[in-house]
Amino acid sequence: MRDQPASPPDLATGTVLAVRGAVVDVAFVGHLPAINDALTIERDAGGLLTLEVQSHLDPQTVRAVAFQATAGLSRGTAVRAGAGPVTVPVGPAIMGRLLDVVGQVRDDGPALPADTPRRSIHAAPPALRNQTRTTEVFATGIKVIDLLTPMAQGGKAAMFGGAGVGKTVLVMELIRAMVEGYDGISVFAGVGERSREGHELLTEMQASGVLDQTVLVYGQMNEPPGARWRAPMTALTMSEYFRDTQHRNVLLLMDNVFRFVQAGAEVSSLLGRLPSRVGYQPTLATEVAALQERIASVAGSSVTAIQAVYVPADDFTDPAVTTISSHMDCVIVLSRAQAAEGFYPAIDPLASSSMLLDPLVVGEAHYRVAEDVRQALARFRELTDIISLLGVEELGQADRQIVGRARRLQRFLTQPFMVTEAFTGLPGARVTLADTLAGCRAILDGAADDWDESALYMVGTLADAAAKNAKAAPAEAAA
């Protein structure tokens, strides 16, 4: 796709007919702008208000959604139509910058150069014949992910969880872990997030020195639904430029994709469309597909997407959750029960899955360890009710052994994060896949049967756990 000029020529001028919150009706004489075309309004206080056409009400009137607040906008105000959809800046000039949905700089830094290329936020996904698939595993250094839900280079992974189970912390840890050891560009889309979280992420990236290889795009919680609805498209457009033009690998992180769906439902309601299941927009599947199908690898350059998805009321049968999950290669489920027991990251090892967990992809050894870990944890879960009623002493010897090893595996799969060092006092740890496999195999074979369970909690490798256990043993003996 060719880059578009920075200032498209005007096509028509209209006037505001009605303002209903974030929805504006505009009348034109003659030619009507097309669906998804951009409209601009010059505000009396300075600055531009950007609109996007969503429907044609009659031969003279369009209905558009505003990307900024419409407070103070009155009937009769002049509206200018551009030459096409909203365009945003792309290219090296945006590296290390924080931008909004229309590409305006929001980090109090200098303006972008006037010759910065721009691209439309609307684009068709790459043709199927041009897409490439890869089975290369994207190592994260997080034990439970690399072992049970390996991510694919150029794939789509989503973390599903309710409020307060650690989605944003996990995304921030992945950013920290991957950007430091990842030869590529990162684009972060903050969709409907709190200002505090955005500020924390920006500060964290500046402190860790990875901001120069990252682009931040925000459509915050306090912004109109149109901004939150199109922010992922803006971030994806920037990612596609680096993939197609510079042939760079791109890591696209989105937090939170549910807010994208929620903003679409708000826009749909404002446009007067009848709701569908559970009050969602009738175009839910189309909107999610339009976003997810653009995330693809082309000609050796990939866009790898990691997305956080809020699960309303912990209901994993919610239409938004099921629609998003159908597009994913890797599904990571965060469990409130795990979080309540203090097992962080609170990933449910039995509910999570990955298409890459196949012996032909990860190898027979990795697959066998992962399956044995899952079987032990599944058997432990089956026995939980019996244990709570009768106690572990009433189990047979084989089941007692499985329970003991499963409890140690649960604790070994916890991990201290670098982004939480200031809160926990524990230094963050990254673990290679080889160390993770070796540690889990040793626990399954009984190497840690005599260890105290707490020695395996919040450590990196099994060697770290052994050192912790050895240090704790003399203290217990003295007590």
Q: State how far the Cα of 426 lies from the Cα of 409, in Å rounded to an integer.
A: 20
Is-contact 121 233, C-beta < 8 A? Answer: yes
Where helices occur in 35-166 by DSSP H, the ranges are 143-148
Nearest by Cα to 429 from 137, 140, 136:
140
Which residues face 251 on adjacent strands?
186, 304
Rounded CA separation 207/412 (Å) = 29
Q: Do the beta carbons of residue 188 and residue 235 sit within 8 Å?
A: yes
163 and 310 Cβ atoms separated by less than 8 Å: yes
Cis peptide before 150 (omega within 30 of 0): no
Do the beta carbons of residue 50 and residue 86 sit within 8 Å?
A: yes
Q: What are phi and psi of 460, to 5 degrees?
A: -90, -90
What percent helix, strand, coil does the chain show, rounded to 5?
40, 20, 40
Distance CA 44, CA 224 (A): 20
How many helices and strands (H and E) does the chain possess?
14, 18
The sign of the CA dihedral 193, 95, 301, 152 is negative
Q: Are strands 48-58 and 37-42 parallel, antiparallel or unpaired?
A: antiparallel
Distance of alpha carbon 88 from the chain centroid: 21
Point out the residues that are catalytic: 167, 193-194
240, 208 Cβ separation under 8 angstroms: no
Q: Which residue shows structure tokens 């899952």?
A: 374
What would the two tokens of residue 341 be? 């027991």
Spacing of C-alpha 460 from chain mean position: 25
